[in-house]
Structure 1
Amino acid sequence: MFKKTLLVLALTAVVGSAVAAPVANLKVTGSITPPTCTVNGVDEADVLYTFDVSPGLFPASGNLTMAPQSQNIQVVCDATTYLSFTASDERAGTELTAGNTNFGLGQYGDDTKVGFYKVTMENATIKADENAADKTVGVLVGTTYATSGVLDKTQTVAWATDKDTLAAGQVFAADFAVAPTLNSVLKNSDGTAQLDGHAVLTFAFGV
């Protein structure tokens, strides 16, 4: 009787393990594809600002601060996104006056700093797509929101609708005004000093 009971229990265990429960596998796939964007119609654009200066433009004393020149930059993306950028200075260390918003203009001779320049982003707009009307937005520099903003090498700059909300669209545009300040000693230089500023705007977007 004892052996028979063991056999029944063993058979029950075998039958139970032979009938597998049905299984449903839930698999989640896909990808997050960033938009493709161009700057002024190309992947890498050169935006030129040319200032021709004569000694007679310098004041009797002090540095020469020139009137700004403005150029429009337009970034077009193939999908709705948010757009921001950082600014870096390829002539870092040549600023006549150091500062997060001052970009260098290179050197004249061995050790004379030509000056520095500031860049102001203004008249920012976005469009939902290329056929939509322009919508005026603001400029967010770090956490500071306004209708315009001076580029800061330590802060991210973005198109925004307020200090907490980035602006979404496919077409982003703004005017970038460059205002140089030139070293007063260049007024009496015996050669031709070249303005050699080079800033890089590196754009980033979010889906």
Structure 2
Amino acid sequence: MARDIVLYDYWRSSASYRVRIALNLLGLEAEIRPVNLLTGAHLDADYLALNPQGLLPALTVDGKTLTQSLAIIEYLHATQPGSHLLLETVDGQYRVRQLAHAIAMEIHPVCNLGVVRHAADLAGGGDETKAAWMRHFIGKGLTAFETLLDGTEGPFCHGTTPTMADCCLIPQLYNADRWGVDVSSFPGIRRAAGACGELDAFRNAHPDKIGPPA
């Protein structure tokens, strides 16, 4: 059955990128409504009425408004027959959540641009301070993530099909590349990234495919 889905999106938002991947993996079509972070559109009254946190993304599904990217992905998994974004077993679900949270709840919050700008301002630094902050925390987080992947069977983060963990990893690698973080020494991460890169669901969600707001 067709679902009426609208994604409020910013092309370079990691959290939005995760949800774009998940929608593609589930074969769900969404109307994309860009919200330009650079112009402060996420703080407009209309958007705050939709998402009081003023964060991206927000997703409406058949009139229901959802926020927080991992909660959105879990909702889509629970309501879309045949989804493999989480696994069937309790241990499998824990494993996928462990990996996803290691990125979305550890790396992402301290590397949010609003946080980084504020930290740089307090330190009296400029762009190089921001870049150094990003390289430090992204590099540290991915080093730990690589260790978590140790012993994983299958080409993806966990197993032979992409899961919510892969939906989190690929946007984080996009940010790593933007900030000059070297991931060449992470074979597990590169293996998973290579497997994801073979799938249209990931390629079509890439920021370069979406492009900045007009």
Same fold (TM over 0.5): no
Between Structure 1 and Structure 2, the one with more strand by share is 1
Between Structure 1 and Structure 2, the one with more helix by share is 2
Q: Which has the larger radius of gyration?
A: 1
TM-score bucket of the superposed structures, by smaller chain: under 0.3
Q: TM-score, normalised by structure 1?
A: 0.22
